[in-house]
Chain A
Amino acid sequence: MTALKKLSEEELVQSLKANQRQAYDYLYDNYAGALMGIITRIVKDREKSEDLLQDVFLKIWKKINDYDPSKGRLFTWMVNIARNTAIDAYRKDKNVFLEDIDTKINTIDTTFVADSVNYNFDVKAITENLKSDRKVLIDMVYFQGYTQEEAAEILQIPLGTAKSRIRTALQDLKAYFRI
């Protein structure tokens, strides 16, 4: 099998929709780790995360024709599938959909443990470049499936403040990644 060089997003999507194995190889090699990072941070269980990554990847494969490039990038679409799958599984497991927000305040510290295991150079550099209160917010919403409202409540800041911090954080990250 010929190794695929860096594919443009358009080429990739086209080959995925044509159900070409090479395209899925490329997708897995380039994105499975990032999706795994998101899933693991939500369910906080390595073994379960691997099962969920399988579910997510198969969903991507089955539903690829639902993906509409005019609505955004492929990765954003895949992340939404990964987050929803992981959040559903986590809630079903822990039955946390009835959990009171107060109990969340007490558990929030332990939920960050997942991060410390996987610190790599990049993440350290990012953390140094992003104010911690902003990174916490981004991670709660993006990696742990909290809504902005829940995150604001847990951190005891007004929703408006949370929203503007999230915006600033993304602008800082944009500059950091030079995008």
Chain B
Amino acid sequence: MNTKEYIESGILEAYVLGETTDQERREVACLSKIYPEVKEELTRLELTMEAYAKAHAIPVNQDLKEKIFAEMNFEETEIPEVLEPKIISLWPKVSIAAALMLGVLALGLFYQNNTMKKQMVTVKNENQKMADEMSKDQKLIALFKETKMVKLKGVEKSPESLAMVFYDEKNASASIMVESLPKAPTGMQYQLWGIVDGIPVDMGMIDNQHENKILAMKNIKGKPAAFAITLEKQGGSPTPTLEEMYVIGNV
């Protein structure tokens, strides 16, 4: 893909002005993940509009802030303090105090433990997410070096759908990244087709858990002129159900 042309097409400007369709938005998001130069220009334009909006800021008063924040509740970050014991001379009182202290301590610890557990889960999730994103990005970069990217756009039936096929002509291998497809109904699955000499050739099934994944598909013999995705019964069909085609794109 010619990224210079893409950058100069004006679509990134439209994106930062909030002037793109959902499909275009997904396309910009996807391409900026793959091409660092697209990402860089996008970020610069975003910073530009941020500066522009700040220059046009209208001051807001503190009352409004308080009113808004009164509607919100936040994660407690401070850990409750353990009460200081008072000096009590009588043993019974001491034992009661001790019991109370233990109770408070236990409560405090329990609370602290819970908060920490919660934080751990958040951190773990974040980590996993970042690792997923990174491995996806690395795969994308490796793919991009040798392959042709074919954008499969949604047809009339599902204009919001979008997928990218990465096709390596030399090895005849292909992978797919689904940006958006309607959730496949139970018992159904999406199937990728390559159109070679006008005939659809099966390139394999697309896992229903395709989010944020790049899936390796079957190699294809011959020179595909286009790729398309249809919805088929679980496990696939020998020939595509054309009425159930969701996206298509020419090589």
Name A residues whose Cβ lies closer than 8 Å to a Cβ of B: 14, 17-21, 24, 28, 32-38, 40-41, 49-50, 53-54, 57-58, 61, 70-73, 75-76, 79-80, 83, 118, 120, 122-123, 126, 138, 141-143, 147-148, 163-164, 166-167, 170, 173-174, 177, 179
Nearest A residue to B126, CB-CB: A14
Instruction: Report chain B residues within 8 Å CB of A138.
Output: 17, 52
A61–B44 Cα distance when bound, in Å, is: 26
Identify the stretch in B58-66, B85-93, B156-164, B242-250 within 8 Å (CB) of chain A at 4 or more residues.
B58-66
Instruction: Count A-B pairs with CB separation below 8 Å.
Output: 142
Question: Could you tell me the distance between the alpha carbons of A73 and B54 in the complex, rounded to whole angstroms?
Answer: 15
Separation of A20 and B69 alpha carbons in the complex (Å): 12
Residues of B with C-beta under 8 A to A164: 10
Q: Which applies to chain A's interface (DSSP): helix, strand, loop or mixed? A: helix
B interface residue numbers (CB < 8 A to A): 8, 10, 13-19, 25, 29, 32-33, 42-60, 64-65, 67-69, 71-72, 74-75, 77, 119, 122, 126, 133
* CB contact under 8 A between A58 and B68, given known A32-B60, A40-B58, A174-B45: yes
Chain B residue nearest to A163 in the complex (CB): B10
Question: Which residues of chain A are near B57, meaning CB under 8 Å?
Answer: 33-34, 36-37
> A residues within 8 A CB of B51?
173, 177, 179
Q: What residues on B are CB-neighbors of A40 within 8 Å?
A: 58
Q: Contacts A18-B75, A118-B58, A126-B55 hold; do A83 and B48 have CB atoms under 8 A apart?
A: no
| Pair A33/B75 contact, Cβ less than 8 Å | no
Contact B64 A53 (CB under 8 A): yes
